[in-house]
Structure 1
Amino acid sequence: MTTNTSGYPRRQPQLSPQETRLWNWAQNATLAEKSQQVRPASEKELQALLQHCRGQVRLTGSKMSPGRMLSVSKREDLLIDMSALRGFISSDEHSATFAAGTQLNEVYRVLNEMGRILPASPGVIDEQTLAGALATGTHGQGLGQSSIGDEALSFRMVLADGSVRTFDRQHPWFHAVQVSLGCLGVITEVTLRTRPAEVYTCFKHAVSADTLENDLLKWNRDAALSKAWWFPGEDQVHLWSAHVATDAERARYRDNQHELVVQEQTSDAMNQTIDQTLKEMHSDTQITDKNGKPFRTVTRFKDFSDVTGNVYQVFCRGIATPQINVEIAIPLARVGAVIKRIKRWHQLTQPHMHYPVILRCTGASESWLSPSWQQESCFFGFVVYYAEDGTLSAEGVDFLRQIEKMLAEEGGRPHWGKYFDASLYQWQALYPKWQEFCAVREALDPQHKLSNAFSERLLNGGAER
């Protein structure tokens, strides 16, 4: 339904009760007519829907991706809501199986109750569905791990013709299925590798960005899990370094009934920087509620303190709020040069920013279409929030366009579930397995039933037909 294929669409803050169209979570793109959405209650119903559909099919979980990834356009097309196919299925000593429509917060809760965790660190938002997170290459932070999909052991998938296939790590197409963009089939079950749960203490610091290009790698090599927020205008970085908790720290965590332990000592080292950032945000967004979600994503950096908890308590701290989020992976070997280039550009142009640059590093991925395929990478994240009326500031949009162009020139690979300008990228050059992925797609879905206008342009532009 949406015609905005590469830009940043306006948001509709209020929808009419009589609205007949289905919108994505951010309410900045229509996906289909409500009559086109179907919600199969079982895998068998899903098989029948795919067998009998004469149009194209896209899938939705929490609908957090840009609308162009999810939308359908023709009357005979279907938008399949996978939310009924959810829940824990089974487990053994080293793995757990979940239905693909299960939200990540439920996956994490179940594993925590079992005393298990995924080897992959979580992202900040846990409202995504498991299948959606896998399809878009969702990742956390830490060089000792990569995307959630890299912890998958097998997938159960309904193909476009309604047949069911299982892809395990011995299957030659397994690494294509790990990040599928929803174009290979409909995943219904996922078996994930697990390991014993761990308790971490996350130390938080405010440090200078003067030597960020050198420090970032050291921070990530020294800590089990690391994340940083870079404020270029103030030449400051807010750094999280998580380490396995000591015996004494674990004891305090147990005494706190396994709730997140927040240290009493706080630091106000970021307060002046945050006040300046909030001033920019208020000017841009004109949001009247100064305690609204966009502002809370920044005010949490004020008066910060160290914490101890499990990995989900420490890192799933995101506040889901409609935004334009651009995230580009840069090979770790090039990160120092890219940071220096951003510093020079920022000093020269003084771009308008109302959120820091988010820096998360991951290990290499096995997934053919993962932005970190076969290389340690740093994901540079950039955010612009919507104004009260659903618009975006012209300065914010200009900043996003310029920074993405710069990182694309540096060999960056965009996160599939966020916003990117596809015209900036030479996909086959970025992804050596691109043609193999397209060949798998032709074998599993020769009619391109599991597609839409955006995915057709994306994949047909990357491989000869």
Structure 2
Amino acid sequence: MTRKTSDFPQRNTRLPPQEPRLWNWAQNAPLADKKQILQPESERHLCELVAATSGKLRVMGSRMSPGRMLALSNANDRLIDTSRLRGLISHDADSATFAGGTPLHEVYELLTAMGRMLPASPGVIDSQTLAGALATGTHGQGLYQSSIGDEALRIRMVLADGSVEEFDRQHPWFHAVQLGLGCLGVVTAVTLRTRPSAVYTCFKNAVSGDSLAEDLLEWNRNYALSKAWWFPDENQVHVWAAREATDEERAQYHANHGDPLIQQETSDAMNQTIDQTLEHMRNDTQIRDENGKPFRTVTRFKDFSDVTGDVYQVFCRGIATPQINVEIAIPLARAGAVIARIKRWHAENQPHLHYPVILRCTGASESWLSPAWQRESCFFGFVVYYAEDGSLSAEGMAFLHEVEKLLAEEGGRPHWGKYFDADLYDWSSLYPQMAAFREVREALDPQHKFSNAFSQRLLG
């Protein structure tokens, strides 16, 4: 089966200085003519703009998602830029309210300054907006937490008619609004649970992939937070497992003026594996800059050491670089069987990977459209980097197609903010609450003002 080119579009590396169109962050999809962008100054201004718009509306944050989530179809459609609707609105002893357009790194910085943190672990990239993170189901790592949206207590939205409504946890539609795909309204404020800041010690190790299925469960049951990178070519796994720091470790961290405390003793156990991975990447991408972002995402695994710091210092370590990223959530109970299937497929086909398979587990989510809805889940992540000219290797695309097909057969649910082949999934079967979500959408947006081609196909 040939992959549709629209699923994995080529990156435009030569946009002219006066490009009239706005593109997504990866520059692989045009979203709208720049004249179609609305930039409200306040919630009241936003209400006026929404009420006055006759065409379709989509909401953009950091434009990190594939183009299908945001792209407009007609000249009278509009794209809402929420970058001016940001910042801390209020806070109390156990919660904080942020404007929807606040980037996650600002959320984390403001909370840290207050001695607070979210109960949910962060993702590796923190440039998304808070509303965008909720809309796509952004999550971290660790079975004892789930998505960022699961920490929401109240969500305030501007609806299709320009009115404002607030949804709290007692509202019957709250679990639809928690992850609304941008189809229900414009999120202007989110109240999040907070807890006192904690310090973690993250232990890093390199182990064999022979017992990965069993080890994955052990890491996630025994540690507060855990993440693993699996290199099938070398049958090796790099694992981070973090627990809250001891009194002595916290004292050492604070004596270091709150900067991450990196152990001096390092391990070179991953160095040979990383060198081989880098060679595959060079051959596929023809990128020669050894300090380029794609290479830095991999070389950081060399000469690794344990670290003590707050949760954002430890886990927000991602390097944003244009890529095709596929991430599928599998029921945790099926993770071992899926790992075995990938091992067999890999042994038969021997694909060369730009990046290891990323394994992050989360607890069950309450959001109706969350990939982790009502089940502990393991998210399998796969990355292929763009070549210097914006193209993608045929081998890399074939690998992504085959592995996604395999995970879809296992009941996988794709991450909404990443790349996937919609034809592989029976959405109503995967999401038993899909019909209820459609009813909420009909009530809040009966004219489907907040839709585009993708959402209309998904929701009907």
Q: Provide the C-alpha distance between the structure 2 equivalents of 1:278 and 1:407, rounded to a whole number of angstroms.
A: 26
Matched residue, 2:307: 307
Asked if the contact 1:121/1:311 (under 8 Å) is kept, the reply is yes
Q: Provide the C-alpha distance between the structure 1 equivalents of 2:10 and 2:111, rounded to a whole number of angstroms.
A: 38
Instruction: String of CA shifts for 1:128-176, please: whole Å, max 9, x gaps.
Output: 0000000000000000000000000001100000010000000000000
Asked if the contact 2:287/2:388 (under 8 Å) is kept, the reply is yes
Q: Provide the C-alpha distance between the structure 2 equivalents of 1:450 and 1:352, rounded to a whole number of angstroms.
A: 41
Matched residue, 2:385: 385
Structure 2 residue identity aligned to 1:239: V
Pairing 1:286-305 to 2, within 5 Å after superposition: 286-305=286-305
Q: Provide the C-alpha distance between the structure 2 equivalents of 1:117 and 1:157, rounded to a whole number of angstroms.
A: 24
Structure 1 residue identity aligned to 2:137: G
Q: What is the DSSP-based 3-state SS (H/G/I as helix, E as strand, rest coil) of the residue aligned with 1:336? A: helix
Q: Provide the C-alpha distance between the structure 2 equivalents of 1:196 and 1:17, rounded to a whole number of angstroms.
A: 46
Matched residue, 1:364: 364
Asked if the contact 2:233/2:352 (under 8 Å) is kept, the reply is no
Asked if the contact 1:60/1:79 (under 8 Å) is kept, the reply is yes
Shift of 1:6: 5.0
Structure 1 residue identity aligned to 2:312: Y
Instruction: String of CA shifts for 1:164-214, please: whole Å, max 9, x gaps.
Output: 000000000000000000000111000000001100000000000001111
Structure 2 residue identity aligned to 1:200: Y
Asked if the contact 1:297/1:318 (under 8 Å) is kept, the reply is yes
Shift of 1:266: 0.2
> TM-score, length-normalised on structure 1?
0.98
Matched residue, 2:222: 222
Pairing 1:446-461 to 2, within 5 Å after superposition: 446-460=446-460
Structure 1 residue identity aligned to 2:110: V
Matched residue, 1:270: 270
Asked if the contact 2:274/2:298 (under 8 Å) is kept, the reply is yes
Instruction: String of CA shifts for 1:45-94, please: whole Å, max 9, x gaps.
Output: 11111111110000111000001100111010000000000000110111
Asked if the contact 2:121/2:142 (under 8 Å) is kept, the reply is yes
Is residue 101 from structure 1 mapped to residue 101 from structure 2 by the alignment? yes
Matched residue, 1:178: 178
Asked if the contact 2:102/2:129 (under 8 Å) is kept, the reply is yes
Matched residue, 1:91: 91
Is residue 17 from structure 1 mapped to residue 17 from structure 2 by the alignment? yes
Shift of 1:5: 8.4
Q: Which runs of 5+ in 1 are unaligned?
A: 461-465
Shift of 1:441: 0.2
Shift of 1:352: 2.7
Structure 2 residue identity aligned to 1:451: S
Q: Provide the C-alpha distance between the structure 2 equivalents of 1:29 and 1:6, rounded to a whole number of angstroms.
A: 9
Asked if the contact 2:284/2:393 (under 8 Å) is kept, the reply is yes
Q: Provide the C-alpha distance between the structure 1 equivalents of 2:189 and 2:211, rounded to a whole number of angstroms.
A: 45
Matched residue, 1:136: 136
Shift of 1:15: 1.2
Q: Provide the C-alpha distance between the structure 2 equivalents of 1:169 and 1:386, rounded to a whole number of angstroms.
A: 42
Q: Provide the C-alpha distance between the structure 1 equivalents of 2:149 and 2:212, rounded to a whole number of angstroms.
A: 30
Asked if the contact 1:96/1:191 (under 8 Å) is kept, the reply is yes
Matched residue, 2:187: 187
Q: Provide the C-alpha distance between the structure 2 equivalents of 1:318 and 1:266, rounded to a whole number of angstroms.
A: 20
Asked if the contact 1:9/1:29 (under 8 Å) is kept, the reply is yes
Q: What is the DSSP-based 3-state SS (H/G/I as helix, E as strand, rest coil) of the residue aligned with 1:234? A: coil
Q: Provide the C-alpha distance between the structure 1 equivalents of 2:127 and 2:447, rounded to a whole number of angstroms.
A: 32
Matched residue, 1:36: 36
Matched residue, 2:63: 63
Q: Provide the C-alpha distance between the structure 2 equivalents of 1:390 and 1:80, rounded to a whole number of angstroms.
A: 28
Matched residue, 1:200: 200
Structure 2 residue identity aligned to 1:24: N
Matched residue, 2:146: 146
Shift of 1:428: 0.6
Q: Provide the C-alpha distance between the structure 1 equivalents of 2:187 and 2:248, rounded to a whole number of angstroms.
A: 43
Q: Provide the C-alpha distance between the structure 1 equivalents of 2:14 and 2:222, rounded to a whole number of angstroms.
A: 47
Matched residue, 1:169: 169
Instruction: String of CA shifts for 1:11-49, please: whole Å, max 9, x gaps.
Output: 012310121011011100000000001100011111111
Q: Provide the C-alpha distance between the structure 1 equivalents of 2:211 and 2:442, rounded to a whole number of angstroms.
A: 48
Q: Provide the C-alpha distance between the structure 2 equivalents of 1:143 and 1:95, rounded to a whole number of angstroms.
A: 22
Q: Quick one: percent identity of the two aligned structures?
A: 73
Asked if the contact 1:118/1:193 (under 8 Å) is kept, the reply is yes
Instruction: String of CA shifts for 1:414-452, please: whole Å, max 9, x gaps.
Output: 000000000000001000100000110000000000011
Matched residue, 2:335: 335
Matched residue, 1:123: 123
Matched residue, 1:396: 396
Instruction: String of CA shifts for 1:208-243, please: whole Å, max 9, x gaps.
Output: 000111111011001110000000110000000001
Q: What is the DSSP-based 3-state SS (H/G/I as helix, E as strand, rest coil) of the residue aligned with 2:359? A: strand
Q: Provide the C-alpha distance between the structure 2 equivalents of 1:23 and 1:192, rounded to a whole number of angstroms.
A: 31
Structure 1 residue identity aligned to 2:170: Q
Matched residue, 2:440: 440
Is residue 45 from structure 1 mapped to residue 45 from structure 2 by the alignment? yes
RMSD over aligned Cα atoms: 0.8
Asked if the contact 2:36/2:79 (under 8 Å) is kept, the reply is yes
Asked if the contact 1:268/1:303 (under 8 Å) is kept, the reply is yes
Q: Provide the C-alpha distance between the structure 1 equivalents of 2:58 and 2:131, rounded to a whole number of angstroms.
A: 13
Q: What is the DSSP-based 3-state SS (H/G/I as helix, E as strand, rest coil) of the residue aligned with 1:62? A: coil
Q: Which runs of 5+ in 2 are unaligned?
A: none
Asked if the contact 1:5/1:68 (under 8 Å) is kept, the reply is no
Structure 2 residue identity aligned to 1:205: N
Instruction: String of CA shifts for 1:107-131, please: whole Å, max 9, x gaps.
Output: 0000001110000000000000000
**Mean CA deviation greater in 218-227 or 11-20:** 11-20
Distance 1:450 1:73, change over 3 A: same
**How many residue pairs were aligned?**
457
Moved over 3 A (4+): none
Instruction: String of CA shifts for 1:255-299, please: whole Å, max 9, x gaps.
Output: 110001110000000000000000000001101211100000000
Structure 2 residue identity aligned to 1:397: M
Q: Provide the C-alpha distance between the structure 2 equivalents of 1:7 and 1:123, rounded to a whole number of angstroms.
A: 24
Matched residue, 1:408: 408
Matched residue, 1:463: none
Asked if the contact 2:11/2:28 (under 8 Å) is kept, the reply is yes
Q: Provide the C-alpha distance between the structure 2 equivalents of 1:362 and 1:194, rounded to a whole number of angstroms.
A: 18
Asked if the contact 1:5/1:454 (under 8 Å) is kept, the reply is no
